[in-house]
Structure 1
Amino acid sequence: MPRRRLFRAAEAALAVLLLTVGTACGSRLPESDFEHRERASPAQDRTPIRVGIVTSATSPVGGSAFTGPRDGAKAYFERLNARGGLDGRRIEVRECDDGGSGVGNNTCVHRLIDEDKVVALAATTVLDYAGASRVSHARVPDIGGQPIGAAYDTWPHLYGVYGSLAPRDGTTGWDGKQYGGTEVYRYFKREHGARTAAVVSYNQAASAAYARLVEQGLKAEGYKVVTEQVDFALPNFRAVAADLKEQGADLVFDAVDSHGNAQLCEAMDAAGVEVTAKVTNVQNWTSTVQDDYKDAPHCRNALWATGSSRNFEDVGNAAVREFREATKGLRTHSQWQLEGWAAAKWFTAAAQSCAPQGITRACVDAHMNRSQDYTADGLLLPVRFERLAEPPKSRRTCLSVARWKDGRGWVSQGDMDRTCFDVPQLPYQQ
């Protein structure tokens, strides 16, 4: 099932906010993926298989904001090539940095599709996917991209890493509306007895819109919601922290940038605010927490992250261990890297199924279009693509949960395949 939950799906609005802040201040491929293959006969095609990766690597949001999926995908392909490639053929990665702009994105799409003739795109992670319609019209499969915007719930031939139930006929979602569940809020209510939740935002349009979506989901789950808004230019997080303490908030959600989050945590520590969880999302599920929140030890150890993929620190799992071994040369690790690795793995599974008749765009796309309950050997919650005529009113949805603990990093909380809830699906617009 796709994991388009209300809390995470609204991250498109937050991405726009971060841009403003930056300028202002199916089938599973087994371990045999990586086994040496017999040498191809002279008549066999040995030309490299070209795959494109588009990333907003130098966007105004910051140099490392969007690069995690790219790094994970490249690590997978490098490991695959080192062990013989795919059916004796190397994967040739063609990268393009769109600079975080729509113009740059269209330029990347044109270059990769029309000039480099890539078979597919993988692990697309961009601020403005302006070229999505061009990818779709060219019938180039885009596999395992991050749904920062609405493109993966709009266009055919685009297969987001969390799946989609929308018709994807050129119109976003259903009549312009997308739907997401409330499982994150249900989890903290059921598992930790949370009853009061605070939502902190800036007095800025994108931030306020994101906060309203979170508030909507919390109220649907019966929470008392405390809204806290700070001035965008001169945020007074100390006042927010004092009110959080007075209101007795169990949970804190936010619609502010990373720097603001660190300031908020520092203010919460200074005011002695104790919460069940300071909840963040998959994009901030990284190994850099110790440094990012170095001046807020109490708040830092109250950080929780939720997502749709297995914790990148869960090295007791064989698939995670394989990912970590292949990426041990990276300076930091993140959940987005793991999801990029899964995207590359997904492409490889599709391409492998096409090898007997020829690895073409059409064949890879047909395989992806049939994908049901793909898990990348357990790294992802089951992903599927359907085209429902009407949006679901409710769904059974699972989630991955981890919390930060100094000295241990991100610690998984339960089994993501069993942490599941039947929750309503609420409409939203990006």
Structure 2
Amino acid sequence: MLLTVLPAGLLAVLLAFTAACGSRLPESDFHDRGTPGESRSREPAGRAPVKVGIITSATSPVGGAAFTGPRDGARAYFRSLNAHGGLDGRPVRVVTCDDGGSGVGNNECVHRLIDEDKVFALVATTALDYAGAPRVSRAGVPDIGGQPIGAAYDTYPHLYGIYGSQAPRKGGEPGWGGTLYGGTEVYRYFKREQGARTAAVVFYNQAASAAYARLVMRGLKAEGYRVVPEEVDFALPNFQAVAADLRAAGADLVFDAMDTHGNSRLCQAMDRAGVEVTAKVTNVQNWSDAVPEDYRDAPACRNALWATGSSRNYDDTGQSAVHAFRDGMRGQPGGDTLSQWQLEGWAAAMWFTDAARSCGDRLTRACVERFMTRDAPYTARGLLLPVSFTPSPEPPKTRRACLSVARWSDDARGGAGGWTTQGGEMTDNCFTVPQLPYKP
């Protein structure tokens, strides 16, 4: 896990700050009622369908746009798959469930999909509170390519998060005795490739925000940065004062533990104060086409936005797998505002499909899981950095970690704006870095 991707338990809390920002898509797009919809009408005729479930916190208090990307990407993949003959002649029937962002709702979705709808597997789960994870694990239902918002994917067998895991995953405590580990590759990258030496971390006076900020600051200090902490009042944030401090400190980088609305206001203050930084660093959750709208009043800061993650930039249109993703999203829900989470949902659906195809005519959950736990890492045709689930009995002290990096530019895509890949090929953009412990 990258330390700039919110660790288990903190993302869920920090996303709650975005509730006041509203959704970017029509409300009707977020009301999944468990019907396959278009995917059912496009099923190829013939053999019995394979039923797949997708759980999403689509109508959660934080707004639908926060969680619907993986669902939309996965559904688009399965629609494309069915249009081309399905899973070796068998259609994939998608059954979605909106858990409303609550643990109770999540348990209800798990019950309905597994016990009533009898889904073969779950794909691209994106849940604010994955309370039903123990039940999924006990039922032996493979959950493939889910987003690790909480600690479930580092805790339970039969659950396979989109970024892989080295944890023992035997149930009970997450990770190694309740402790997870994250690397410092993001900070190493900006130090080595951009010459950064001073980093500011902006956070709210709120427990989860401050906890994540402390984790970021530990990683920065481990990489030798001079760190400038900036705490702001959540109710009455004084971003002008923060911008003045950033200018006085000569910060090269700005990291944050805030929501999109807070980041937008910080960027506006930075532009007004004439603050120039090497990078305003965000993460995969905010890597999307929504940047022009979110940062419309902060053009200088907007063009200093960098994103880091573990999947190929969805704007790398020269890559055949990315081109296929973008083609598949045309005319589909969410297709007018593309995002990195959509691409990862597409990759999750591809992962399930490849695992199922490995079984030939004898499709079983055990066979699918043999594919998931094989020694060879999975890359989803190059959309993901190599992913595996090889457990390590002891927590790693160091790890060779690779990094996908992109920067927003208003000049990209012929002036329409977009993300330009930085640092070269992501599989070569690698560092051996320490692994720092944290409690989820």
Cα distance in 2 for partners of 1:159, 1:130 equals 16
- Kindly state the Cα deviation for residue 427 of structure 1 after the two structures are TM-superposed: 0.4
Instruction: List aligned pairs for 1:64-83, cutoff 5 A.
Output: 64-83=65-84
- Kindly state the Cα deviation for residue 367 of structure 1 after the two structures are TM-superposed: 2.1
Task: Write the deviation string for residues 283-308 of structure 1: whole angstroms up to 9, x where unpaired.
Answer: 10001111110000000000000000
Task: Write the deviation string for residues 206-225 of structure 1: whole angstroms up to 9, x where unpaired.
Answer: 11011011001001000000
The equivalent of 1:240 in structure 2 is: 242
The one of the two structures with greater contact order (alpha-carbon pairs below 8 A, sep at least 6) is 1
- Kindly state the Cα deviation for residue 14 of structure 1 after the two structures are TM-superposed: 3.1
Q: Say if 1:266 and 1:299, in contact at 8 Å, map to a contact too.
A: yes
1:372 pairs with 2:376 = yes
Task: Write the deviation string for residues 126-168 of structure 1: whole angstroms up to 9, x where unpaired.
Answer: 1000000000010100000000110000000000000000000
Matching residue within 206, 212, 216 for 2:218: 216
Task: Write the deviation string for residues 6-36 of structure 1: whole angstroms up to 9, x where unpaired.
Answer: 22142641321222552799xxxxxxxxxxx
Instruction: List aligned pairs for 1:242-257, cutoff 5 A.
Output: 242-257=244-259
Q: Say if 1:372 and 1:385, in contact at 8 Å, map to a contact too.
A: no
Runs of 4+ in 1 over 6 A off after TM superposition: none
Cα distance in 2 for partners of 1:24, 1:324 equals 27
Instruction: List aligned pairs for 1:4-403, cutoff 5 A.
Output: 4-10=1-7, 12-20=9-17, 22=19, 46-170=47-171, 171-329=173-331, 330-357=335-362, 359-370=363-374, 372-403=376-407
Cα distance in 1 for partners of 2:254, 2:138 equals 42
Give 2:151's aligned amino acid. A
Cα distance in 1 for partners of 2:410, 2:18 equals 29
Task: Write the deviation string for residues 164-198 of structure 1: whole angstroms up to 9, x where unpaired.
Answer: 00000112000100011000000000001100000
- Kindly state the Cα deviation for residue 87 of structure 1 after the two structures are TM-superposed: 1.5
Cα distance in 2 for partners of 1:326, 1:18 equals 28
Give 1:397's aligned amino acid. A
Cα distance in 2 for partners of 1:283, 1:64 equals 10
Identity of aligned residues (%): 71
The equivalent of 1:33 in structure 2 is: none
- Kindly state the Cα deviation for residue 364 of structure 1 after the two structures are TM-superposed: 1.5
Q: Say if 1:11 and 1:210, in contact at 8 Å, map to a contact too.
A: no
Cα distance in 2 for partners of 1:200, 1:345 equals 37
Q: Secondary structure at the match of 1:64?
A: helix
Give 2:7's aligned amino acid. A
Q: Which moved more, 1:280-289 or 1:362-371?
A: 362-371
Q: How many residue pairs align between the two structures?
A: 409
- Kindly state the Cα deviation for residue 355 of structure 1 after the two structures are TM-superposed: 2.6
Q: Secondary structure at the match of 1:383?
A: coil
Q: Say if 1:52 and 1:121, in contact at 8 Å, map to a contact too.
A: yes
Cα distance in 1 for partners of 2:282, 2:186 equals 11
Q: Say if 1:140 and 1:365, in contact at 8 Å, map to a contact too.
A: no
Cα distance in 1 for partners of 2:138, 2:67 equals 25
- TM-score in terms of structure 2 length: 0.91
For structure 1, the 5+ residue unaligned runs are 26-38
Q: Say if 2:11 and 2:149, in contact at 8 Å, map to a contact too.
A: no
The equivalent of 1:405 in structure 2 is: 409
- TM-score in terms of structure 1 length: 0.93
Cα distance in 2 for partners of 1:57, 1:136 equals 23
Q: Say if 1:5 and 1:179, in contact at 8 Å, map to a contact too.
A: no
1:429 pairs with 2:439 = yes
Q: Secondary structure at the match of 2:358?
A: helix
Q: Say if 1:373 and 1:382, in contact at 8 Å, map to a contact too.
A: yes
Cα distance in 1 for partners of 2:156, 2:376 equals 18
- Kindly state the Cα deviation for residue 387 of structure 1 after the two structures are TM-superposed: 1.3
Cα distance in 2 for partners of 1:376, 1:323 equals 11
Give 1:125's aligned amino acid. T
Cα distance in 2 for partners of 1:238, 1:20 equals 20
Give 1:10's aligned amino acid. P
Cα distance in 2 for partners of 1:296, 1:360 equals 52
- Kindly state the Cα deviation for residue 262 of structure 1 after the two structures are TM-superposed: 0.2
Q: Secondary structure at the match of 1:392?
A: coil
Alpha-carbon RMSD across the aligned residues, in angstroms, is 1.5
Q: Secondary structure at the match of 1:118?
A: coil
Q: Say if 2:49 and 2:93, in contact at 8 Å, map to a contact too.
A: yes
Cα distance in 2 for partners of 1:361, 1:108 equals 20
Give 1:352's aligned amino acid. R
Cα distance in 1 for partners of 2:329, 2:409 equals 22
Q: Which moved more, 1:318-327 or 1:8-17?
A: 8-17
Cα distance in 2 for partners of 1:233, 1:165 equals 39
Cα distance in 2 for partners of 1:65, 1:21 equals 8
Cα distance in 2 for partners of 1:320, 1:110 equals 35
Q: Say if 1:396 and 1:420, in contact at 8 Å, map to a contact too.
A: yes
Cα distance in 1 for partners of 2:360, 2:94 equals 18
Residues 198/313 of structure 1: CA separation in 2 closer, same or farther (3 Å cut):
same
Q: Secondary structure at the match of 1:396?
A: strand
- Kindly state the Cα deviation for residue 369 of structure 1 after the two structures are TM-superposed: 2.2
Q: Secondary structure at the match of 1:7?
A: coil
